[in-house]
Amino acid sequence: MAEKKCKINANSTWQEMTPGGTIYDAANSLEFTTGDWRSRKPIWLQEKCKQCGLCVPTCPDSAIPVIEGGNRTDFNYDYCKGCGVCAKACPFNAISME
């Protein structure tokens, strides 16, 4: 069934789609790139960033990846909707909104 789920996309026919649009799998929101809706784009200014970590928990999605050691890396624009909360939370102006 997972195979059927992955096959369904914007070009799928009615024969291929599941009845009622039911998704026969769990934890598949990663496949839905909600960042397509983004209105404004946050830019990470790495040279100003002190890696204080205040921005990370403010993200309503999972668009600020944290790597081993606890440091953040650049935005994951697949899921960032451009809300700008992270930019407000940053005490060092290390995030600018475009």
Partner 1 sequence: MNKCKSIRERLSGNEAVANAMRQINPDVVAAFPITPSTEIPQYFSTFVNNGTVDTEFVPVESEHSAMSACVGASSAGGRVMTATSANGLSLMWEIIYIASSLRLPIVMACVNRAVSGPLNIHNDHSDSMGVRDSGWIQLYSETNQEAYDNMIMANRIAEHVDVHLPLMVCYDGFITSHSIENIELIDDESVKAFVGDYHPEHFLLNRDEPIAMGPLDVQPYLFEHKFQQGYAMKKAKDVILEVSKEFEEMTGRKYGLFEEYKMEDAEMAIVVLNSTAGTAKYTIDRLREKGMKVGLVKPRVYRPFPVYEIANALKNCKAIAVLDKADSLNGAGGPLYTDVTSAMYTSNITSPKVVNYIYGIGGRDVRSTDIEKVYNDLRYIIDTGDMGTPYRYLGLKG
Q: Which residues bind partner 1 (CB under 8 A)?
A: 1, 9-14, 17, 19-26, 28
Length of the chain: 98
**Shortest CB 23 distance to partner 1, Å:** 4
Shortest reach from residue 60's CB to partner 1, in Å: 17
**Residue closer to partner 1, measured from CB, 13 or 39:** 13
Smallest separation (angstroms) from partner 1 to the CB of 29: 9
By beta-carbon proximity to partner 1, the closer residue of 28 and 33 is 28
d(CA 69, CA 61): 21
Both tokens assigned to 24: 């026969």
**Residue 46 CB burial class (10 angstroms; 0-12, 13-18, ≥19):** exposed
